[in-house]
Protein backbone atom coordinates (compact mmCIF):
# COMPACT_ATOMS: atom_id res chain seq x y z
CA UNK A 1 0.00 0.00 0.00
CA UNK A 2 2.76 2.45 0.97
CA UNK A 3 5.74 3.02 -1.27
CA UNK A 4 9.30 2.66 0.00
CA UNK A 5 9.88 6.40 0.44
CA UNK A 6 6.75 6.91 2.54
CA UNK A 7 7.57 3.83 4.61
CA UNK A 8 11.00 5.25 5.40
CA UNK A 9 9.52 8.56 6.54
CA UNK A 10 6.76 6.95 8.54
CA UNK A 11 9.20 4.58 10.26
CA UNK A 12 11.20 7.60 11.44
CA UNK A 13 8.05 9.22 12.83
CA UNK A 14 6.95 6.06 14.62
CA UNK A 15 10.26 5.99 16.49
CA UNK A 16 8.83 8.94 18.46
CA UNK A 17 6.11 6.75 20.01
CA UNK A 18 6.44 6.77 23.78
CA UNK A 19 4.01 3.93 24.47
CA UNK A 20 2.44 1.02 22.58
CA UNK A 21 -0.65 1.69 20.46
CA UNK A 22 -3.20 -0.60 18.90
CA UNK A 23 -5.00 -0.51 15.55
CA UNK A 24 -8.47 -2.05 15.63
CA UNK A 25 -9.90 -2.90 12.20
CA UNK A 26 -13.57 -3.39 11.34
CA UNK A 27 -13.44 -4.84 7.85
CA UNK A 28 -15.78 -6.43 5.30
CA UNK A 29 -15.34 -8.24 1.99
CA UNK A 30 -14.95 -5.13 -0.15
CA UNK A 31 -11.91 -4.15 -2.20
CA UNK A 32 -11.54 -1.01 -0.05
CA UNK A 33 -11.32 -3.20 3.03
CA UNK A 34 -8.40 -5.07 1.50
CA UNK A 35 -6.65 -1.77 0.74
CA UNK A 36 -7.21 -0.66 4.32
CA UNK A 37 -5.87 -3.91 5.71
CA UNK A 38 -2.78 -3.58 3.53
CA UNK A 39 -2.20 -0.06 4.89
CA UNK A 40 -2.55 -1.25 8.49
CA UNK A 41 -0.14 -4.14 7.94
CA UNK A 42 2.41 -1.73 6.48
CA UNK A 43 2.15 0.46 9.58
CA UNK A 44 2.51 -2.48 11.96
CA UNK A 45 5.66 -3.63 10.16
CA UNK A 46 7.33 -0.27 10.78
CA UNK A 47 7.28 -0.25 14.59
CA UNK A 48 7.29 -2.86 17.36
CA UNK A 49 5.09 -0.51 19.39
CA UNK A 50 2.16 -0.83 16.95
CA UNK A 51 -0.14 -3.86 16.98
CA UNK A 52 -3.22 -4.81 14.96
CA UNK A 53 -6.35 -6.74 15.72
CA UNK A 54 -9.13 -7.31 13.20
CA UNK A 55 -12.11 -8.00 15.41
CA UNK A 56 -13.49 -4.48 15.59
CA UNK A 57 -17.27 -4.07 15.79
CA UNK A 58 -17.73 -0.61 14.25
CA UNK A 59 -20.95 0.03 12.33
CA UNK A 60 -19.13 1.77 9.49
CA UNK A 61 -17.09 -0.77 7.52
CA UNK A 62 -14.40 -0.75 6.42
CA UNK A 63 -12.90 1.39 9.16
CA UNK A 64 -10.17 1.25 11.76
CA UNK A 65 -9.56 2.86 15.13
CA UNK A 66 -6.42 3.94 16.96
CA UNK A 67 -6.10 3.53 20.71
CA UNK A 68 -4.11 2.16 23.60
CA UNK A 69 -4.06 -1.60 24.24
CA UNK A 70 -6.80 -2.60 26.64
CA UNK A 71 -8.72 0.67 26.22
CA UNK A 72 -11.62 1.70 24.03
CA UNK A 73 -10.14 3.62 21.07
CA UNK A 74 -11.44 7.15 20.57
CA UNK A 75 -10.11 7.95 17.08
CA UNK A 76 -11.64 6.24 14.04
CA UNK A 77 -10.95 6.51 10.32
CA UNK A 78 -13.93 5.37 8.24
CA UNK A 79 -11.99 5.55 5.03
CA UNK A 80 -8.41 5.21 3.86
CA UNK A 81 -6.60 8.35 5.06
CA UNK A 82 -4.30 8.98 2.13
CA UNK A 83 -3.81 12.18 0.16
CA UNK A 84 -4.38 15.24 2.33
CA UNK A 85 -5.48 13.08 5.24
CA UNK A 86 -2.25 11.09 5.54
CA UNK A 87 -0.88 13.73 7.91
CA UNK A 88 -4.01 13.30 10.03
CA UNK A 89 -3.21 9.60 10.28
CA UNK A 90 0.43 10.18 11.24
CA UNK A 91 -0.49 12.72 13.93
CA UNK A 92 -3.18 10.42 15.34
CA UNK A 93 -0.63 7.62 15.64
CA UNK A 94 1.99 9.84 17.29
CA UNK A 95 -0.33 11.67 19.69
CA UNK A 96 -2.08 8.48 20.78
CA UNK A 97 1.39 7.08 21.41
CA UNK A 98 2.26 9.90 23.78
CA UNK A 99 4.15 12.26 21.50
CA UNK A 100 3.39 15.79 22.78
CA UNK A 101 1.27 17.96 20.47
CA UNK A 102 2.44 21.38 19.32
CA UNK A 103 -0.43 23.22 20.97
CA UNK A 104 -0.41 25.93 23.65
CA UNK A 105 -0.66 24.65 27.20
CA UNK A 106 -3.75 26.80 27.75
CA UNK A 107 -5.56 25.06 24.88
CA UNK A 108 -4.59 21.65 26.23
CA UNK A 109 -5.92 22.59 29.66
CA UNK A 110 -9.22 23.77 28.16
CA UNK A 111 -9.65 20.52 26.24
CA UNK A 112 -8.94 18.37 29.29
CA UNK A 113 -11.40 20.40 31.37
CA UNK A 114 -14.36 20.02 28.98
CA UNK A 115 -17.15 18.16 30.82
CA UNK A 116 -19.57 15.80 29.10
CA UNK A 117 -19.60 13.42 26.16
CA UNK A 118 -18.72 14.63 22.67
CA UNK A 119 -18.98 12.17 19.78
CA UNK A 120 -17.74 13.93 16.65
CA UNK A 121 -18.16 12.71 13.08
CA UNK A 122 -16.41 14.66 10.33
CA UNK A 123 -17.38 14.08 6.71
CA UNK A 124 -14.45 14.74 4.41
CA UNK A 125 -13.17 14.34 0.89
CA UNK A 126 -9.62 13.14 0.32
CA UNK A 127 -9.13 16.05 -2.10
CA UNK A 128 -10.31 18.66 0.45
CA UNK A 129 -7.64 21.14 1.60
CA UNK A 130 -9.53 22.33 4.69
CA UNK A 131 -10.67 18.94 6.00
CA UNK A 132 -7.37 17.85 7.63
CA UNK A 133 -7.33 20.87 9.97
CA UNK A 134 -10.72 19.89 11.38
CA UNK A 135 -9.91 16.17 11.58
CA UNK A 136 -6.60 16.81 13.32
CA UNK A 137 -8.17 19.22 15.83
CA UNK A 138 -10.90 16.76 16.79
CA UNK A 139 -8.48 13.83 16.91
CA UNK A 140 -6.27 15.75 19.32
CA UNK A 141 -9.27 16.51 21.51
CA UNK A 142 -10.07 12.79 21.57
CA UNK A 143 -6.51 12.01 22.65
CA UNK A 144 -6.59 14.53 25.49
CA UNK A 145 -10.13 14.10 26.81
CA UNK A 146 -11.68 10.65 27.46
CA UNK A 147 -15.15 12.14 26.91
CA UNK A 148 -14.38 12.93 23.25
CA UNK A 149 -14.44 10.61 20.24
CA UNK A 150 -13.54 11.59 16.67
CA UNK A 151 -14.54 9.72 13.52
CA UNK A 152 -13.38 10.77 10.07
CA UNK A 153 -15.83 9.62 7.37
CA UNK A 154 -14.79 9.61 3.72
CA UNK A 155 -17.90 10.76 1.86
CA UNK A 156 -16.70 9.07 -1.31
CA UNK A 157 -16.66 5.69 0.44
CA UNK A 158 -19.87 6.16 2.41
CA UNK A 159 -22.14 7.85 -0.09
CA UNK A 160 -25.22 6.45 1.64
CA UNK A 161 -24.36 8.36 4.81
CA UNK A 162 -23.84 11.52 2.79
CA UNK A 163 -27.24 11.20 1.13
CA UNK A 164 -29.03 10.33 4.35
CA UNK A 165 -27.63 13.35 6.21
CA UNK A 166 -28.02 15.66 3.20
CA UNK A 167 -24.42 16.79 3.31
CA UNK A 168 -23.72 19.44 0.69
CA UNK A 169 -20.10 20.38 1.45
CA UNK A 170 -17.00 19.19 3.30
CA UNK A 171 -15.86 19.29 5.95
CA UNK A 172 -19.17 18.91 7.76
CA UNK A 173 -19.06 18.10 11.47
CA UNK A 174 -21.72 16.29 13.47
CA UNK A 175 -21.72 16.27 17.27
CA UNK A 176 -23.76 13.60 19.02
CA UNK A 177 -25.80 13.11 15.85
CA UNK A 178 -26.58 16.79 15.21
CA UNK A 179 -24.85 19.08 12.75
CA UNK A 180 -22.23 21.11 14.60
CA UNK A 181 -20.52 23.09 11.86
CA UNK A 182 -19.33 23.18 8.29
CA UNK A 183 -16.18 24.48 6.67
CA UNK A 184 -12.78 25.03 8.13
CA UNK A 185 -12.68 25.44 11.92
CA UNK A 186 -9.67 25.90 14.15
CA UNK A 187 -9.30 24.07 17.43
CA UNK A 188 -9.85 27.39 19.24
CA UNK A 189 -13.16 27.91 17.42
CA UNK A 190 -14.32 24.39 18.22
CA UNK A 191 -13.49 24.78 21.90
CA UNK A 192 -15.25 28.16 22.04
CA UNK A 193 -18.46 26.55 20.74
CA UNK A 194 -18.23 23.76 23.28
CA UNK A 195 -17.00 25.64 26.33
CA UNK A 196 -19.89 28.05 26.90
CA UNK A 197 -18.34 29.31 30.13
CA UNK A 198 -15.13 30.45 28.47
CA UNK A 199 -16.45 33.97 27.72
CA UNK A 200 -17.38 34.50 31.37
CA UNK A 201 -13.98 33.23 32.51
CA UNK A 202 -12.22 35.50 30.02
CA UNK A 203 -14.17 38.50 31.35
CA UNK A 204 -13.38 37.52 34.94
CA UNK A 205 -9.69 37.08 34.13
CA UNK A 206 -9.63 40.45 32.37
CA UNK A 207 -11.18 42.17 35.39
CA UNK A 208 -8.72 40.43 37.71
CA UNK A 209 -5.78 41.49 35.55
CA UNK A 210 -7.00 45.09 35.54
CA UNK A 211 -7.35 45.06 39.31
CA UNK A 212 -3.89 43.57 39.75
CA UNK A 213 -2.44 46.18 37.41
CA UNK A 214 -4.14 48.99 39.34
CA UNK A 215 -3.02 47.81 42.75
CA UNK A 216 0.49 47.10 41.51
CA UNK A 217 0.66 50.65 40.14
CA UNK A 218 -0.73 52.09 43.37
CA UNK A 219 1.85 50.19 45.40
CA UNK A 220 4.59 51.39 43.09
CA UNK A 221 3.46 55.01 43.54
CA UNK A 222 3.59 54.61 47.33
CA UNK A 223 7.14 53.23 47.16
CA UNK A 224 8.30 56.04 44.88
CA UNK A 225 6.66 58.67 47.09
CA UNK A 226 8.47 57.37 50.18
CA UNK A 227 11.76 57.00 48.31
CA UNK A 228 11.89 60.53 46.94
CA UNK A 229 10.45 62.47 49.96
CA UNK A 230 13.30 64.52 51.66
CA UNK A 231 14.50 62.71 54.75
CA UNK A 232 14.42 65.80 56.93
CA UNK A 233 10.80 66.47 56.14
CA UNK A 234 9.90 62.91 56.91
CA UNK A 235 11.81 62.41 60.17
CA UNK A 236 12.81 65.76 61.82
CA UNK A 237 10.06 67.57 63.75
CA UNK A 238 9.60 71.32 63.56
CA UNK A 239 11.58 73.30 66.19
CA UNK A 240 9.72 74.10 69.39
CA UNK A 241 10.06 77.48 71.16
CA UNK A 242 12.14 75.95 73.98
CA UNK A 243 14.69 74.64 71.54
CA UNK A 244 15.04 78.04 69.91
CA UNK A 245 15.56 79.71 73.30
CA UNK A 246 18.32 77.29 74.22
CA UNK A 247 20.28 78.35 71.14
* In a shared domain, residues 131 and 237: no
pLDDT tens track for 1-12: 899 999 999 999
Confidence of residue 246 (pLDDT cuts 50, 70, 90): very low
* In a shared domain, residues 237 and 207: yes
- Is-contact 51 69, C-beta < 8 A? yes
Number of domains composing the chain? 2
Average pLDDT, the chain: 88
What's the pTM?
Answer: 0.80
pLDDT tens track for 171-224: 999 999 999 999 999 999 999 999 876 545 455 555 666 666 656 665 656 655
* In a shared domain, residues 63 and 25: yes
* In a shared domain, residues 209 and 100: no
What pLDDT is stored for residue 240 in this prediction? 42
What pLDDT is stored for residue 37 in this prediction? 98
What pLDDT is stored for residue 195 in this prediction? 85
Confidence of residue 63 (pLDDT cuts 50, 70, 90): very high
Where would I find the H helices in the chain? Answer: 4-14, 31-45, 86-96, 105-113, 131-144, 159-164, 187-194, 198-228, 231-235, 241-246
What pLDDT is stored for residue 117 in this prediction? 97
What pLDDT is stored for residue 149 in this prediction? 98
CATH number of the CATH domain containing 143 = 3.40.30.80
More confident site: 75 or 212 = 75
* In a shared domain, residues 212 and 190: no
Q: Quick one: how far is CA 244 from the chain centroid? A: 80
- Residue among 43, 2, 54, 39 at smallest CA distance from 21: 43
Give residue 238's domain range: 199-246
**Would the pLDDT of 142 be above 90?**
yes
* In a shared domain, residues 117 and 233: no
- Mean pLDDT along residues 76-93: 97
Q: Can you tell me the distance from the alpha carbon of 132 to that of 208, in angstroms, rounded to the nearest whole number?
A: 38
* In a shared domain, residues 181 and 162: yes
**Would the pLDDT of 158 be above 90?**
yes
* In a shared domain, residues 204 and 111: no
* In a shared domain, residues 153 and 224: no
pLDDT tens track for 18-36: 999 999 999 999 999 999 9
* In a shared domain, residues 72 and 138: yes
- Which contiguous run of DSSP H or E holds residue 181? strand 178-182
* In a shared domain, residues 186 and 157: yes
* In a shared domain, residues 190 and 205: no
Q: Quick one: how far is CA 34 from the chain centroid? A: 31
- Mean pLDDT along residues 115-124: 98
Amino acid sequence: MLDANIKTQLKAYLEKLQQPIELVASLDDSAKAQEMRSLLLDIVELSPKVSLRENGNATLRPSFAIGLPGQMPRITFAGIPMGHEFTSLVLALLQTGGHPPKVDAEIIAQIKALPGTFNFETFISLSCHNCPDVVQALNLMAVLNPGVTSTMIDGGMFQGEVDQRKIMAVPTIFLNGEEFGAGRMSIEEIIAKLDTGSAARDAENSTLKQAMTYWSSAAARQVLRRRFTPHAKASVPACSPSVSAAK
